[in-house]
Amino acid sequence: MTRKAERVAVGVVLAVAAVLWGWALGGRALQPYYVAAVHSMTRDVTAFFFAGFDPAGVVTVDKPPLAFWAQALGVVVFGFHPWAIALVQVIEGVAAVFVLHRVVRRWAGPRAALLAAALFALTPITAAINRDNLPDTLLVLLLLLAAYCVTRADGGGRWLVWAGVFVGLGFLTKMLAAWIVLPGLALAAFVVMPGSRGRRVAWVGLAGVVTVAVSLAWPVAVSLWPGAKPFVGSTTDGSVWQLAFGYNGLTRLVGGSGGYGAAVGTALGGGPGPLRLFDAEVGGQIAWLLPLALVSLVVAAFRARGAAPGVKAGWVLWGGWLVAGVAVFSFTGGIFHAYYTAELAPAIAALAANGLVTASTWPHARLVLPAAVAGTAVFAYVLLDRTPDWLPWLRYTVLVLALLTVVAASLRASRVAVVTGLAAVLAGPAAFAVDTAARPVSVLETADPGAGPPSTSAIRHVVGISTGSGAEAGYVRFIESSYQLSPGQREVLAYAQAQAPSAGVVLAVEGGTYGADPFVLNTDARVAPLGGYLGFDPAPSAADLPGWVAAGKLRFVLLPRVFLEIGRASGRASAIPAADAGELPRRVAWEAKHCRPVPPARIGPDAASVGVLFDCVRP
């Protein structure tokens, strides 16, 4: 392959990725929780620094700020439009494909690099996260930049320092998820660096120090902040350290003991175990090429012993990345979503691509390459057979392509074997990725994005957490309306603004951010959710409410109608969970006792459709 042909081919792969992830850019649904936060961050410096959800400065989102800083930059440039945020995600995703190509090219040559880029771009869960506004897109890009720096470490230790910087920035994007790749990066750096063992250990240690320093820079600044600051969301005490090492750390690994962690309880992406990444919920997202990648890694362990340091380092880097990630995501017993596995996609693509290219050049390629393609095709058939009503012909087509590959290889028709083999390998994941780009996504799905035929399991799980009942339809409609501000909501907000224009929080919405999203997204009013994301946080606690009211910080609290409707359907006074749900039930009890409902007729003709507005300042 000439350099010109390679550049054209890489350009085609990048263009395909851009089309897949940028299709219908202006009409897609994004996670309103994070969109609302970006809106607030572009209007208030404090909200920007802390990743605050609301302009009143009550609570932050449940992640560090770096990904949202990047999205806020897009909003500053293009104005506040969901497509501006989506565009940032697409740019980051396409950049990740390019960086992966450069990393693999240095390790395994142009053919493997081009194939790895294509496999990565067509990984279903990669398409899903790059069409959403979750921080995982930026996390993958930063980790790939760190991998690139490690492969350049044969030219000097300063590259390892930069690798540490990028992993640290990954921590500021999604906290401990960024550190999963550290074993692979550290071992690869030790292998590829020139010099004595002591010198290599020293440089790897320095890179580790840089990683920790960059990772903890923002948490330390938040902890030492001298003035008022928002409550750190998804924690029980407002500590950024609990967010980093509790909610986004141990709670993910082993589960939680209160608030959201207790409510979730078990993992969303299937039960923990060695086969989790192949199960019905996760397999179609990431596992298409996972067996091939693992087999390639095992074979390399025996064949790469006499290879050059750079080649060994590549196998160590991607192998360490994959093994550590598979171990963590397979056995995580706490909060787990299938889309977390997007972090594995670069390693799977790199290992699978090099395995296929290597197999095609071995002396026994007539046997090895067809065997690799046939095994991958059979597994693709298993994954596709789980959705028999979706493109039912595809699973048989994959098997036919694999059979043609075997026949072509036996007849020494190598070009035909390569073409049919690639088609067999790519058909399944490519179909999932294209389907993801083509079909509309509901707002509810944006909290737990997935590729290919949609599943309702996540919807039922989220609804079950939030309502404690089987009355799903009302809550689903409630979440789906997160982007729109209804006439009744406008009336409620106008009434609160007229009665308490100087309140620190003009209108507080009980039960979490979904009820506050329409106000924060569509107005500049000081509207805030009580309790953070799902209402479980002590932000504020029930004990804080009297002080807030006495100080003039709070007067009006809206209890959305959906909580009352679902509560009646389940035989309770409201849909507020009776189990351990943090401060949520205690706040509602205080509001019901100490605040008086405002008659809807006093607010407006559509106010009754919104819920109950409580006035907590008695005449």
**Segment 169-221, tens digit of pLDDT:** 999 999 999 999 999 999 999 999 999 999 999 999 999 999 999 999 999 99
Question: Would 462 be classed as within a structural domain?
Answer: no
Pairing of strands 527-530, 596-597: unpaired
Q: Which residue has the higher pLDDT, 464 or 509?
A: 509
432 and 571 in a single domain? The answer is no
pLDDT of 85 higher than 90: yes
Q: Could you say which of 375, 402, 437 is where a domain stops? A: 437
What is the rounded distance in angstroms from the CA atom of residue 409 to the CA atom of residue 370? 7
Outline where 193-289 has alpha helix (H).
Answer: 197-224, 240-242, 251-254, 259-264, 283-286
Average confidence (pLDDT) over 381-410: 95
CA end-to-end distance (rounded Å), the chain? 82
User: What is the mean predicted confidence (pLDDT) over 254-265?
Assistant: 54
b/e sequence 129-148, b meaning 16+ C-beta within 10 Å: bbbbbbbbbbbbbbbbbbbb
Structure tokens at 223: 């902890």
Residue that is written with structure tokens 């890179």 in the block: 207
Per-residue pLDDT for 467 more than 50? no
Number of separate domains in the chain: 2
pTM higher than 0.85 for the full model? yes
Instruction: Record the tokens describing residue 271, joined without a space.
Output: 């039960």
Indicate whether 468 belongs to any domain. Answer: no
> How far apart, in whole angstroms, are the C-alpha atoms of residue 292 and residue 299?
11
Question: In angstroms, rounded to a whole number, what is the distance separating the alpha carbons of residues 83 and 438?
Answer: 16
| Contact in structure between 21 and 131 (CB atoms under 8 Å) | yes
Question: Residue 458 — pLDDT band, cuts 50, 70, 90?
Answer: very low
Burial 401-428 (b: 16+ CB within 10 A, else e): bbbbbbebbeeeeeeebbebbbbbbbbb
Is the pLDDT score of 68 beyond 90?
Answer: yes
Residue 576: predicted pLDDT: 56
pLDDT at 456 over 70: no
Residue 20 clears pLDDT 90, i.e. is over it? yes
Rounded to whole angstroms, the Cα distance separating 33 from 28 reads 15
* 378 and 498 part of one domain: no
pLDDT confidence bin for 161, thresholds 50/70/90:
very high
**Looking at the domain assignment, is residue 43 inside a domain?**
yes
Helix (H) / strand (E) element for 577: namely none
Tell me the average pLDDT of the chain.
90
pLDDT for the residue numbered 255: 73
Report pLDDT digits (tens) over 214-228. Answer: 999 999 999 999 989
List alpha helices for 337-456, DSSP H: 345-361, 365-384, 394-410, 414-438
Residues 410, 514, single domain; the answer is no
- Region of 175 (left: φ > 0; alpha: ψ -120 to 50; beta: rest) is left
Residue 236 CB-density burial (10 A; 0-12 exposed, 13-18 middle, 19+ buried): buried
Tokens linked to 548: 């807030």
560 and 424 both lie in a single domain: no
Closest CA to 153 of 117, 112, 110, 187: 187
* Domain end (from 422, 437, 452): 437
User: Please, what's the b/e burial string for 514-538 (b: 16 or more CB within 10 A of its CB; e: otherwise)?
Assistant: bbbbbbbbbbebbbbbbbbbbbbbb
Across the range 259-280, mean pLDDT stands at 71
Q: What pLDDT score does 155 carry?
A: 82
Q: How many CA atoms, within 13 angstroms, populate the side-chain half-sphere of residue 139?
A: 28
pLDDT at 307: 82
Band of pLDDT at residue 572, cut at 50, 70 and 90 = low
125 or 256: which carries more pLDDT confidence?
A: 125
Indicate whether 262 belongs to any domain: yes
Q: What percent of the chain is predicted at pLDDT more than 90? A: 76
CB 176 within 8 Å of CB 248: yes
305 with 175, same domain: the answer is: yes
What local confidence, expressed as pLDDT, does residue 291 receive? 95
At residue 575 the predicted structure's pLDDT band, cuts being 50, 70 and 90, is: low
What is the torsional sign of CA 88, 94, 96, 98? Answer: negative
In a domain, 471, yes or no: no
∠ CA 306-311-316, nearest 5°, is 100
- 118 and 253 in a single domain? The answer is yes
In a domain, 465, yes or no: no
Query: Does residue 103 share a domain with residue 13?
Result: yes
Are residue 122 and residue 66 in the same domain, yes or no?
yes
Contact assessment for residue 559 and residue 591, using Cβ atoms and an 8 Å cutoff: yes
Which letter does DSSP use for residue 339 in this model? G
Residues 83 and 182 in one domain: yes
* Domain assignment of residue 452, yes or no: no
**Amino acid 271: pLDDT:** 85
Query: Quick one: what percent of the chain has pLDDT higher than 70?
Result: 90
Digit-coded pLDDT (tens) for 328-337: 999 998 889 9
Decide if pLDDT at 573 tops 80. Answer: no
Instruction: Classify 510 as helix, strand or coil.
Output: strand
* Residue-level pLDDT at 460: 41
Same domain, 351 and 492: no
CB 89 within 8 A of CB 73: no
Average pLDDT, integer, range 536-564: 93
End of a domain among 378, 408, 437? 437
Does residue 93 surpass a pLDDT of 50?
A: yes
Q: How confident is the model at residue 485 (pLDDT cuts 50, 70, 90)?
A: very high
Range of lowest pLDDT (44-53, 311-320, 473-482) = 473-482
Q: Find the domain containing 577 and state its range.
A: 483-615
325 vs 258, which has greater pLDDT? 325
More confident residue, 468 or 555: 555
Residue 387 shares a structural domain with residue 488: no
Asked if residue 382 lies in contact with residue 291, where contact means CB atoms within 8 angstroms, the answer is no
pLDDT at 306: 76
Q: Are 427 and 513 contained in the same domain?
A: no
- Mean pLDDT over 480-503 rounds to 94
> Across residues 556-573, what is the average pLDDT?
70
Q: Within a 13 Å sphere around the CA of 357, how many CA atoms are in the beta-carbon half?
A: 19
Q: Would you say residue 93 lies in a domain?
A: yes
Whether residue 461 is predicted with pLDDT greater than 60 in this model: the reply is no
Angle at alpha carbon of residue 318, lines to 315 and 324, rounded to 5°: 120
User: What pLDDT, on the 0 to 100 scale, is given for residue 574?
Assistant: 55
Average pLDDT estimate for 333-346: 94
Q: At what angle do helices 345-361 and 136-151 cross, to 10 degrees?
A: 50
- pLDDT mean over 441-447: 85
Percent of residues in the chain assigned helix, strand, coil, to nearest 5: 65, 5, 30
